[in-house]
């Protein structure tokens, strides 16, 4: 189904061409949702922008457009306001017909993209043996939602976990492993490191204070890179241990992602440097091989170098990203590559993209996007920490959210004098707790920092997951109360829009497709959150004012249809945020 916006754009273009000739076939008709409901549903300022070109007063242009605008099947008669704005109000009969169409569509009227792309979303990407911190949590939640949205729109999405599983720290880690857990290398399953982060800290301690250990570590790196068998085995053990810990988090959060860590690109790194050399982009700087960047300068105004090979011959984060970018374009056939990391890496990506472009690997046909996000802060506005001042472990953070949601629920059940099984309580608490964490993250504009507050994210009021889940469950309770099977309602539930609150809700229900189409471009999941939040509010207003079960036919079935559509829209929208609904809570 074409959205009303698309249909109106087409009609506007037709009117422009009829009024002013075929030169205007490509002119953007500038139809947008109205900035204020008092102007109707949509508006166009195109007459103002054409004034110069046509040498006419905008108001006169507007009049000519309106004269040729054939929209009687969609809108009420267009009106012209002020200097020449054209305002449009959708016709209830049109809305009714659209709603009845989306009702029998599992995609709720959201069309698949006409230009499916091969998209890579690079997200989560924690580092082996280091802790997976709140920054990785943000990347995981935002990246997963972006991937879900693009998949739903019909793109072919490859979700990649660019795990930090390579680099000089492995020399130190393996040396420490040999020393502290020698059995691990000979006996299968002997390694129960438990807390790898503590292990990393101990290894670092030795590295910083023990000269001999440092020497051994350096040798170990060389051996590992040369492919020595027991070094590789030790490396593998460390990776597996970390992987198990990451997987616990992914399982809890329902995240699918394919691991393709930095080590994957290791064999490709020498060729990257050679090619840069061959393309005459490489320069030597203090013994390191680098590319001097355009538009990045130091304080003295001199161009900054991007090091791709250190003076000891080793490669770095940037080299790996260059190799990865080339591989993703040439081998994976990606048209669009999306990197979800904290804003602090913006320069890194801008530099890598520039070099890849100058090398000719990154062409016009491929879009690369860095999707940056802000910091997660504690309630004091500082870096998130535990009470004793340590960094918060993700596992603990998620468990705490679940525990608090369980406590909230216990209070609520008591107040309502309800009895529920332990199993039910545990399930609801887990869904609500984890959704709250995801939603709190996604509902902010991702570029700003946000304050992590269990109290705020778990409250039943406002733009929170519990509020949204509650709206959904409330609708399901209507069907239980009235003994209605929404699925049986199907095509028979003809929707009529009579009351103002019904009209407002109906219009909103038809906008999901437009919201998702915008999201494909701007990759801002908070827009979807905002849409769903407004949907819940509009539903609540409707439900307060329009009796559903206690009204006569044909309103009763129509209103049940609106309830069902709202619930399905919430369920679909939340699923694109990685949030699962509850029939009862």
Shortest approach of ligand ARG to residue 164 CB, angstroms?
A: 4
Shortest approach of ligand ARG to residue 388 CB, angstroms?
A: 24
Nearest residue (CB) to ligand ARG, 165 versus 220 = 165
Shortest approach of ligand ARG to residue 366 CB, angstroms?
A: 15
Nearest residue (CB) to ligand ARG, 155 versus 328 = 328
Nearest residue (CB) to ligand ARG, 131 versus 502 = 131
Shortest approach of ligand ARG to residue 306 CB, angstroms?
A: 14
For residues 561 and 489, the answer to whether their CB atoms sit within 8 Å is: yes
Give the CA distances from residue 171 to residues 167, 225, 267, 309, 518, in Å, rounded to whole numbers and listed in that order.
8, 10, 18, 18, 46
Residue with tokens 């290894």: 203
Neighbour tally for 407: CB within 10 Å: 12
Shortest approach of ligand ARG to residue 144 CB, angstroms?
A: 15
d(CA 16, CA 36): 25
Nearest residue (CB) to ligand ARG, 324 versus 574 = 324
Strand 156-161, strand 118-122: pairing: parallel
Binding region for ligand ARG (CB under 6 A): 122, 125-127, 162, 164, 321, 324, 339, 341
Tokens representing 475 are: 């609708």
Q: Measured at CB, which residue is nearest to ligand ARG?
A: 125
Nearest residue (CB) to ligand ARG, 137 versus 496 = 137
Give the CA distances from residue 178 to residues 165, 192, 209, 231, in Å, rounded to whole numbers and listed in that order.
18, 14, 18, 10
d(CA 176, CA 169): 11
Nearest residue (CB) to ligand ARG, 339 versus 470 = 339
Shortest approach of ligand ARG to residue 32 CB, angstroms?
A: 35
For residues 282 and 290, the answer to whether their CB atoms sit within 8 Å is: yes
Nearest residue (CB) to ligand ARG, 166 versus 467 = 166
Shortest approach of ligand ARG to residue 179 CB, angstroms?
A: 27
Determine if the peptide bond prior to 554 is cis (ω within 30°).
yes
Shortest approach of ligand ARG to residue 346 CB, angstroms?
A: 12
Query: Looking at residue 187, what DSSP letter applies?
Result: S
Nearest residue (CB) to ligand ARG, 62 versus 121 = 121
Nearest residue (CB) to ligand ARG, 348 versus 494 = 348
529: CB partners within 8 A, 6+ apart:
439, 442, 443, 463, 577
| 308 phi/psi in degrees, rounded to 5 | -115, -15
Shortest approach of ligand ARG to residue 124 CB, angstroms?
A: 8
For residues 464 and 435, the answer to whether their CB atoms sit within 8 Å is: no
Q: Measure the CA dihedral 482/483/485/488, to 10°.
A: -90
Query: Looking at residue 262, what DSSP letter applies?
Result: G
Q: Name the strand (E) or helix (H) holding 156.
A: strand 156-161
């Amino acid at each position: 189904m074409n959205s009303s916006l698309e249909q109106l754009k087409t009609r506007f273009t037709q009117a422009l061409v009829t009024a002013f000739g075929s030169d205007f076939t490509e002119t953007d008709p500038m139809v947008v949702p109205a900035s204020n409901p008092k102007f109707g549903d949509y508006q166009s300022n195109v007459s103002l922008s054409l004034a110069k070109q046509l040498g006419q007063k905008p108001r006169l242009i507007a009049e000519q457009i309106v004269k040729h605008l054939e929209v009687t099947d969609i809108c009420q008669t267009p009106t012209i306001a002020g200097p020449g704005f054209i305002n449009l109000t959708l016709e209830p009969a049109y809305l009714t017909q659209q709603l009845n169409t989306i009702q029998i569509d599992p995609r709720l009227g959201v069309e698949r993209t006409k230009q499916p792309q091969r998209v890579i979303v690079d997200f989560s990407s924690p580092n082996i043996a280091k802790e997976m911190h709140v920054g990785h949590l943000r990347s995981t939640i935002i990246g997963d939602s972006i991937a879900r949205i693009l998949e739903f729109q019909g793109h072919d999405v490859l979700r990649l976990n660019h795990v930090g599983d390579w680099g000089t720290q492995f020399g130190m880690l393996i040396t420490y492993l040999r020393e502290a857990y020698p059995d691990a290398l000979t006996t299968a399953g002997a390694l129960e490191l438990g807390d790898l982060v503590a292990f990393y800290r101990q290894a670092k301690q030795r590295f910083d204070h023990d000269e001999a250990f440092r020497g051994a570590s350096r040798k170990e790196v060389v051996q590992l890179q040369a492919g020595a068998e027991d070094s590789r085995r030790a490396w593998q053990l460390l990776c597996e241990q970390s992987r198990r810990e990451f997987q616990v988090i992914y399982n809890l959060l329902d995240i699918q992602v394919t691991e393709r860590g930095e080590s994957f690109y290791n064999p490709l790194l020498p060729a990257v440097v050679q090619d840069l050399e061959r393309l005459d982009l490489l320069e030597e700087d203090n013994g390191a091989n680098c590319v001097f960047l355009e538009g990045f300068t130091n304080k003295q105004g001199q161009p900054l170098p991007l090091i791709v090979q250190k003076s000891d011959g080793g490669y770095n984060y940037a080299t790996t990203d260059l190799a990865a970018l080339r591989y993703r374009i040439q081998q994976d056939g990606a048209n669009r590559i999306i990197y979800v990391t904290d804003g602090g890496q913006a320069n890194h990506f801008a530099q890598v993209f520039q070099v890849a472009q100058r090398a000719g690997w990154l062409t016009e046909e491929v879009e690369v996007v860095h999707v940056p996000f802000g910091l997660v802060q504690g309630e004091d506005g500082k870096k998130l920490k535990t009470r004793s001042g340590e960094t918060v472990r993700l596992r603990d953070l998620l468990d705490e959210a679940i525990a608090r949601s369980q406590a909230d629920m216990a209070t609520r059940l008591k107040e309502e004098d309800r009895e529920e099984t332990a199993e039910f309580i545990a399930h609801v608490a887990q869904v609500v707790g984890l959704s709250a964490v995801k939603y709190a993250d996604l509902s902010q504009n991702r570029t700003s920092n946000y304050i992590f507050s269990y109290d705020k994210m778990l409250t039943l009021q406002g733009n929170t997951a519990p509020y949204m889940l509650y709206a959904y469950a409330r609708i399901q309770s209507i069907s239980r109360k009235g003994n209605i099977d929404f699925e049986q309602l199907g095509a028979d539930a003809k929707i009529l829009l009579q009351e103002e609150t019904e009209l407002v809700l109906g219009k909103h229900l038809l906008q999901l497709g437009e919201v998702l189409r915008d999201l494909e471009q701007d990759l801002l999941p908070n827009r979807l959150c905002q849409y769903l939040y407004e949907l819940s509010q509009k539903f609540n207003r409707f439900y307060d004012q329009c009796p559903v079960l206690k009204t006569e036919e044909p309103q009763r079935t129509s209103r049940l249809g609106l309830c069902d559509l709202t619930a399905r829209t919430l369920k679909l929208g939340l699923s694109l945020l990685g949030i699962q609904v509850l029939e009862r809570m």
